[in-house]
């Protein structure tokens, strides 16, 4: 009898034993570090794969539309694929052609840049600044450094789509898999409803974010392009496309899109034209990107401003320029896999959301 009681007590102790919470946190942190290091090492593969996934999610409604219209599944796939290809190739063509035009025109601004420096030296000298101090202050300003800054900005954008064959091939395969995605979702929903909910929330949030950012990006690009054309800044189409692309970069996209046209305006028309470009950009972009757009983006993705900024820094460090462009969708995927997938951790979403929603009832 005593032996049975001892065995029962020992069984209770064994069944009630659990891993200490501190050890769980330590293991999770170690796993996160290893995972981040792996993603960073394979950034050249992970980035294009996620870009293709985002484009596939963006054009998936086209396949759904074709299915509702009674069209063959393969025809819906072809239409969606053509739409995705048009987006990638169209942006790449505009960037390459405009960058080539910029590279042709920039060398002619060398003399104007020297004249600007002479004007700055005269101004500083009139204020009583010594020649040695002026030389020290302006020694870091060089026309070739300006060229490198503009070329680096454009090459970074072109580099986002540089692995073109890989991205186009992935789009083809993902679009083919999209034909049967409805049936796959039904199976996942029946077997693992929480996983289905997390993936569905990620896809819906990503699609809404891409739609909102695309609409506002087009609006900003049109206004910026027209303003630059009216001011006489060269290559307004290039800078309009740059404004559209950088609109997908949260928080600091406006600054990235402003620097190249402002510098070119300085070379073209001097400080006055540069100031006008800065003022026009600030008015247009502040009103649209800082006042109107965040309300719609916050409603679409459910992420606070702090989280979006930190996600930008993190993913840009991990994946480079492509990580900056896809920071929000990548964060949504991370939230889906780590938080939304488990009902017991969904409460954390309230801490990182811009407008916390009511908690979802646990799945049966």
Q: What is the pLDDT of residue 129?
A: 58
CA distance 258 to 283: 12
pLDDT higher than threshold 70 for residue 114: no
The 3-class SS string of 20-73 reads CHHHHHHHHHHHHHHHHHHHHHCHHHHHHHHHHHHHHHHHHHHHHHHHHCCCCH
Residue 363 pLDDT > 50: no
Q: Each residue of 283-292: pLDDT tens digit?
A: 887 777 766 7
The whole-number average pLDDT for the span 46-50 is 83
Q: Could you give the 3-state DSSP secondary structure of residue 69?
A: coil
The tokens describing 145, both together, are 């450094």
Tokens of 106: 């920039």
Q: What is the pTM of this model?
A: 0.73
Which DSSP symbol is given to 290?
I
| pLDDT attached to residue 121 | 62
Q: Give per-residue pLDDT as tens, 170-207.
A: 777 777 777 777 777 778 778 878 877 888 888 888 88
- Whether 16 shows a pLDDT value over 60: the answer reads no
pLDDT reading at 272 higher than 60: yes
The chain-wide mean pLDDT, for the chain, equals: 74
With cut-offs at 50, 70 and 90, classify the pLDDT of residue 132.
low
């Amino acid at each position: 009898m005593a032996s049975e009681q001892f065995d029962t007590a020992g069984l209770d102790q064994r069944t009630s034993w659990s891993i200490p919470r501190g050890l769980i946190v330590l293991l999770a942190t170690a796993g996160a570090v290893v995972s981040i290091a792996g993603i960073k090492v394979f950034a050249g593969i992970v980035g294009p794969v996620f870009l293709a996934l985002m484009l596939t999610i963006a054009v998936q409604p086209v396949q759904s539309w074709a299915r509702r219209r009674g069209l063959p599944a393969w025809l819906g796939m072809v239409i969606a694929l053509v739409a995705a290809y048009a987006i990638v190739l169209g942006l790449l063509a505009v960037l390459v052609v405009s960058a080539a035009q910029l590279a042709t025109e920039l060398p002619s601004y060398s003399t104007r840049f020297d004249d600007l420096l002479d004007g700055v030296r005269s101004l500083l000298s009139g204020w009583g600044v010594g020649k040695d101090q002026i030389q020290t202050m302006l020694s870091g300003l060089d026309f070739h450094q300006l060229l490198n800054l503009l070329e680096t900005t454009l090459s970074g954008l072109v580099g986002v789509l540089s692995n073109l064959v890989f991205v186009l091939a992935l789009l083809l395969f993902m679009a083919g898999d999209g034909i049967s995605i409805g049936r796959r979702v039904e199976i996942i929903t029946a077997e693992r409803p929480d996983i289905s909910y997390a993936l569905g929330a990620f896809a819906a949030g990503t699609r809404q974010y891409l739609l909102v950012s695309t609409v506002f990006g087009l609006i900003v690009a049109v206004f910026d392009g027209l303003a630059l054309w009216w001011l006489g800044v060269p290559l307004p189409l290039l800078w309009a496309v740059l404004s559209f692309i950088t609109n997908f970069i949260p928080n600091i996209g406006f600054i990235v899109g402003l620097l190249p046209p402002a510098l070119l305006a300085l070379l073209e028309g001097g400080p006055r034209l540069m100031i006008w470009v800065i003022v026009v950009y600030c008015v247009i972009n502040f009103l649209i990107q800082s006042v109107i757009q965040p309300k719609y983006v916050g409603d679409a993705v459910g992420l606070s401003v702090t989280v979006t900024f930190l996600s930008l820094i993190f993913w840009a460090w991990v994946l480079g320029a492509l990580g900056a462009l896809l920071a929000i969708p990548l964060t949504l995927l991370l939230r889906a896999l780590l938080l939304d997938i488990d009902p017991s951790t969904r409460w954390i979403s309230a801490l990182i959301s811009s407008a916390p929603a009511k908690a979802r009832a646990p799945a049966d």
